[in-house]
């Protein structure tokens, strides 16, 4: 029978410690300044993110203007506007708390309708748009995760530190070549179970098989220069996605990816017009799950142990059966 290593009050205190420590580590590593961020944006702006390309945002009408607003899915596109507005220079950037509702998510032990993450974005140069720079940044983020984990384990000795010493790198095409008969998720689990912490690169485009490893909206990440930070989580014996990040599209890759997805009409939207015209800075950025990180570092079995959300009957029954205390 599952027994949490920290009770509810200890868990709340530990969550505060994790967030405080990781924010300090991340902002120092990537030269980030914390700024305020929107909960919703106008639908007509084109600033909301499609994530995998099919998720429906929560939308509502604004009585004062008659326009439609959407609760953000993430802030990937909005952050590029903010970097220009605040006039950040190369290798400096911002981070913010992002809270979202993902209505089409299927709730389970790792997924919730409520999403909370650190969204970050950094101005880069044209010369930074390389795999080497992407991997260098991933290593900095992973070092910040390691520092945070070590401090939390010192504060709470009952916890296990499951983070590997270093993070490795693999492409989605390499995964398909290694495991041609498995699904993308099965490939991730098999690889991470054997190799530990891994940055899985190049997500969004078609593989040699003609299939995609996973969907990505065509108008924020460059599919050749992005990826997910995946950890092996022995508590659930699974691959554990902590972050999605990447170098963002420039003028050329924006048009190329919109054409690949047959949605070039987006070039008429304000964000896409500005980007195609070279009016926005070149950037890289991503999101790091706050509840995900807390779940991992606190050795929890369900994300509902570190955040308050709404759960279906199957999740409630599963937690009751396995003695998992939801918040």
Span 182-207, pLDDT tens digits:
999 999 999 999 999 999 999 999 99
Active site residue 128: no
Q: Please confirm, yes or no, whether 104 is among the known catalytic residues.
A: no
Residue 285's nearest CA partner among 150, 156, 69, 118 is 118
Tokens of residue 159, six digits: 């916890």
Angle, helices 131-155 vs 290-297, to 10°: value is 50
Q: Note whether residue 170 is domain-resident.
A: yes
pLDDT above 70: percentage of residues in the chain: 98
Domain count, the chain: 1
From the candidates 21, 23, 49, 121, give the one annotated as an active-site residue.
Answer: 49
Which listed residue (121, 128, 221, 228) is catalytic? 228
The residue from 102, 109, 129, 292 that is catalytic is 102
Q: What's the pLDDT tens digit per position in 146-165?
A: 999 999 999 999 999 999 99
Q: 25-34, 97-106, 109-118 — which is least confidently predicted?
A: 97-106
pLDDT confidence band for 61 (50 / 70 / 90): very high
Identify whether 327 is part of a domain.
no
Report the number of secondary-structure helices (H) and strands (E) in the chain: 9, 11
pLDDT at position 55, please?
Answer: 76
36: in domain: yes
Is residue 49 part of the annotated active site? The answer reads yes
Residue 202 inside a domain? The answer is yes
| Residue ranges in the chain assigned as alpha helix (H) | 8-30, 76-86, 131-155, 172-178, 184-195, 251-260, 270-276, 290-297, 313-321
Contacts of 235 (CB under 8 A, 6+ apart): 162, 299, 300, 301
Reported confidence tier of residue 144, pLDDT bands at 50, 70, 90:
very high
Determine the structural domain holding residue 97 and report its residue range. 8-321
∠ Cα 89 90 95 (to 5°): 75
Query: Does residue 3 fall inside a structural domain?
Result: no
Residue 271 lies in a domain: yes
Higher pLDDT, 271 or 32: 32
Other residues' Cβ atoms within 10 Å of the Cβ of residue 100: 25
Is-above-0.75 flag for pTM? yes
Active-site annotation holder among 25, 244, 253, 309: 244
Q: Is residue 1 part of a domain?
A: no
Instruction: Evaluate whether residue 290 is within a structural domain.
Output: yes
What mean pLDDT comes out for the span 76-95? 94
Least confident range from 89-98, 274-283, 295-304: namely 274-283
CATH (domain of 21): 3.30.930.10
The tens digit of pLDDT for each residue in 223-236 reads: 999 999 999 999 99
């Amino acid at each position: 029978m599952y027994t949490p290593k920290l009770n509810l009050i200890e868990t709340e205190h530990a969550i505060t410690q994790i967030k405080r420590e990781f924010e300090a580590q991340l902002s120092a590593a990537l030269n980030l300044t914390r700024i305020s961020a929107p909960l919703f944006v106008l639908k007509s702006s084109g600033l909301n993110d499609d994530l995998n390309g099919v998720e429906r945002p929560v939308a509502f009408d604004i009585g004062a203007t008659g326009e439609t607003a959407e609760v953000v899915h993430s802030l990937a596109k909005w952050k590029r506007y903010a970097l220009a507005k605040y006039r950040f220079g190369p290798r400096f950037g911002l981070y913010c708390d992002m809270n979202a509702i993902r209505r089409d998510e299927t709730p389970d032990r790792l997924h919730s309708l409520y999403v909370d993450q650190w969204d970050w974005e950094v101005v880069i140069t044209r010369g930074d748009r390389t795999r080497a720079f992407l991997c260098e940044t991933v290593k900095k983020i992973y070092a910040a995760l390691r520092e945070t984990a070590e401090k939390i384990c010192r504060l709470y000795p009952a916890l296990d530190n499951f983070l590997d010493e270093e993070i490795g790198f693999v492409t989605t095409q390499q995964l398909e070549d290694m495991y041609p008969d498995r699904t993308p998720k099965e490939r991730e689990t098999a690889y991470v179970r054997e190799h530990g912490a891994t940055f899985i690169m190049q997500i969004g485009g078609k593989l040699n098989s003609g299939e995609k490893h996973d969907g990505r909206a065509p108008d924020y990440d460059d599919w050749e220069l992005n990826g997910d930070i995946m950890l092996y989580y022995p508590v659930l014996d699974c691959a554990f996605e902590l972050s999605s990040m990447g170098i963002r599209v420039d003028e050329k890759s924006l048009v190329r990816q919109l054409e690949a997805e047959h949605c070039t009409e987006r070039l008429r939207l304000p964000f896409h017009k500005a980007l195609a015209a070279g009016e926005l800075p070149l950037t890289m950025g991503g999101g790091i799950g706050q509840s995900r990180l807390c779940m991992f570092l606190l050795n929890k079995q369900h994300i509902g142990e570190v955040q308050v959300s709404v759960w279906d009957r199957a999740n409630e029954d599963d937690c009751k059966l396995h003695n998992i205390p939801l918040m």
